[in-house]
Amino acid sequence: MLDVHRRMHTIRQQGQKGDSLPMIADEIILEGIILCFDEFQVTDVADALILRRLFTSLFERGGVIVATSNRTPADLYKNGLQRDLFVPFIDLLEQKTKVVSMTSSKVDYRIVHGLHKAKGTYFLGDPFIRNKSANKNEDKGKLEFNSVFDQLTLNAKIGSTFLSTQGRNVLVPQCVLEKSIARFSFYDLCGAALGAADYLAIADRFSTIFLEDIPQLKIQDMNVVRRFITLVDALYENNVILIIHAEKKIDKLFVVDDDAGVFDEVFAFDRTRSRLDEMGSIAYLKSRK
């Protein structure tokens, strides 16, 4: 969807009037008639409304869609805002595509890769200890996290910088440019109004990211959860090393009460968990850029 938004922005800058999505569909079909989407998910109301018009134009031009997803078409964007406007897109998918169930396979191969864990990528600690009377040194996980950062940035000058993306500047509070290493607090990246374009700019510039003070997330933190999902996706897809200091282990990082209802983000976070598992594996680290 980031690519679609970029194309829409370019068309607007060119002074084109009216619906830009048919023009974008023309461009996409010229590049390839078969479009493949891995882990198709809809969590954003703007994307939900764009997808209906875009896919209609693609199908009209003979486009072929192949996708994997944790949800059936009928369950896409479940409980989302203005979902009634999205329902015709579900009808279109069910009409134009064949749904093949793979529920008989219970294996998440990212977790299989993640079983061979590397040391020094995920540290447990209290992200709120600085606000307590306890000595910060009692957070052993933070000490070990800091130690890895010190080892990788040894004798290097640590500074800050800005990255430019789509007319905005993204602050990188701590980094060593020559070593392609950056360090952020969780709320630097997920508490601020950042999006996929910002996270991709960070992933393009740095090969190693230190992310500290991740609290246990709850359903009430939905905006923060969405950003974290997007951040992990951007880093994973760009093969960035992610070194984490968090309050809880990966499987306890996002907790949902039984009566909280069903949200697409709950399903999407399952992907985030398995990606975090894989990102801490020896195989992933060996494949880094």
Residue 162: is its pLDDT beyond 90?
yes
Global pTM? 0.72
Residue 130: pLDDT band with limits 50, 70, 90: low
**Phi, psi (deg, nearest 5) at residue 24:** -65, -40
Both tokens of 81, joined, read 């805002």
Distance separating alpha carbons of residues 63 and 55, to the nearest angstrom: 9
β-pairing verdict for 181-185 and 168-176: antiparallel
Taking the C-alpha atoms of residue 178 and residue 183, their distance in angstroms, rounded to an integer, is 14
Predicted confidence band at 169 (pLDDT cuts at 50, 70, 90)?
Answer: very high
Is residue 133 over pLDDT 90?
Answer: no
Model confidence at 269, pLDDT cuts 50, 70, 90, reads confident
Q: At what angle do helices 87-96 and 45-60 cross, to 10 degrees?
A: 40
Contacts of 273 (CB under 8 A, 6+ apart): 250, 251, 253, 254
Average confidence score pLDDT of the chain: 84
For the chain, what percent of residues have pLDDT higher than 70? 87
Q: What is the pLDDT of residues 37-62, one digit of tens each?
A: 887 888 777 787 888 889 999 999 99
pLDDT at 214: 95
- CA separation for the pair 61, 57 (Å, rounded): 6
Do residues 138 and 147 touch, judged by C-beta distance below 8 A?
no
Overall average pLDDT of the 146-150 stretch: 94
Q: If we measure between CA atoms, which residue out of 211, 223, 219 comes closest to residue 127?
A: 211
pLDDT in tens, 96-122: 999 888 765 555 544 444 445 567 889
Q: Which two structure tokens, joined as six digits, stand for 17?
A: 């009037």
Q: What is the pLDDT of residues 198-221, one digit of tens each?
A: 999 999 999 999 999 999 998 888
Residue 2 has pLDDT above 80, yes or no: no
Confidence of residue 131 (pLDDT cuts 50, 70, 90): very low
